[in-house]
Amino acid sequence: MSRNSVFVLITILLTGLACSPVNATVASSPSVEPSQIAVEAISAESSVPTAYISFIINTHDIVHPDESADTIIQLIDLFERHDVRGDFYLTAPQVHLYAEQRPDVIDRLRESEMTISYHIRPPHPVYSGFDDRLDGLDDTKLAETLREYETYRLEMTTGDLIYDEPGGYSYVADVFGREPVVVSLPNERYRSQGLPIFEELGAQMTVTYHESGTDPENSFEWRNGLLIRPSDFSVTRWPSPENLENSPFWWNMLNTPIADYYNPTSYLQSQLEDWEGARAPFITVLIHENNFFRRGGTPFTFIYWADKDKTQPLSPPFELDAPDGSQPRSPENIAAIWAAYEEIVAYAAEHLSVVTSKDIVSMAETGQ
């Protein structure tokens, strides 16, 4: 079955579901079990190859820590309900907020089988546009400074360090009792110096591309001692049928007239059908925790940038009470996103191999 045929089939099926009692229930509550009718119809008509799929949640909403924490707990429940694991990428400032305001989410993550990974957001100086303090440092001083930022707490209004409090990668590792597997160092300029430090601290994988870029002939490549996270394609965003130059995120399209085209499970099916590689593909399903409940932009945008497109970094001191860069989603929109997300998790749990970065490192080390 062709990709277009898949989308036609899913559209017909979902249109029928929209009028059914099952779909009405899904739309009213984000916690209900999504319908599997469309998924089963597609899998019955198409040959799905073996594939490895990872559910990655980038967590960073310092503006709405309660909603962020609630979302993480709900995601853990969802993954456990389908007997799979998610990969939670946490910033150190977010973990500080959880520890101070929502220790329940710390406990829930620590006690779960979820994988913990690490990423960076402003005003950390290795984030592009916020690295003035690193300019002109020789290699020795640069390495020392980068290590300090993974050892001590980041002050969010100045970008300075609080030397009498733990922070960075080391703090996240201590809080959860295990080293975060992946590190994402967003500024290429500092990777040669920074990645070996993360390896010494316990990291095993890094991100050099987010949605695709894996060598078709070689899934596992290494950089500065860390495995590069493989991703042949992602279920994150794709071109609109009305504008092929625009690739919106699927969760932002579920309240539009072309919502059916942005069903993530049907898109996954179409991509698997189009896969021509000799090996099983690695797939990433990426989302930020705030995408479930906020729309229109990243909540902390105007704390650190002067514009909504985040092209004009501000200088410290940063205003932590700056206007929110996002707006709340409607209850119906939230429910639709949760239903679509659970649908793809349920499908992957039944038909594919759901893995996290921890599993992939093991595969690479054992030559699987």
Hey, which residues does 46 pair with through a beta bridge?
none
In tens, the pLDDT along 255-290 reads 999 999 999 999 999 999 999 999 999 999 999 999
Buried b (16+ CB within 10 A) or exposed e, 241-255: eeeeeeeeebbbbbe
Sign of the alpha-carbon torsion through 92, 98, 101, 103: negative
| C-beta of residue 74 within 8 angstroms of C-beta of residue 108 | no
pLDDT of residue 32: 38
In the predicted model, what is the mean pLDDT of the chain?
89
Indicate the CATH number for domain 48-259+275-332+347-366: 3.20.20
3-state DSSP assignment of residue 131: coil
**Can you tell me the distance from the alpha carbon of 165 to that of 154, in angstroms, rounded to the nearest whole number?**
9
Residue type, 178: R
Q: Where along the chain do its domains lie?
A: 48-259+275-332+347-366
Q: How would residue 19 be classed by pLDDT, with cut points 50, 70 and 90?
A: very low
On the 0-12 / 13-18 / 19+ scale of CB atoms within 10 A, 74 is middle
Mean pLDDT along residues 32-43: 39
In tens, the pLDDT along 141-155 reads 999 999 999 999 999
pTM, two decimals, is 0.86
In tens, the pLDDT along 213-242 reads 999 999 999 999 999 999 999 999 999 888
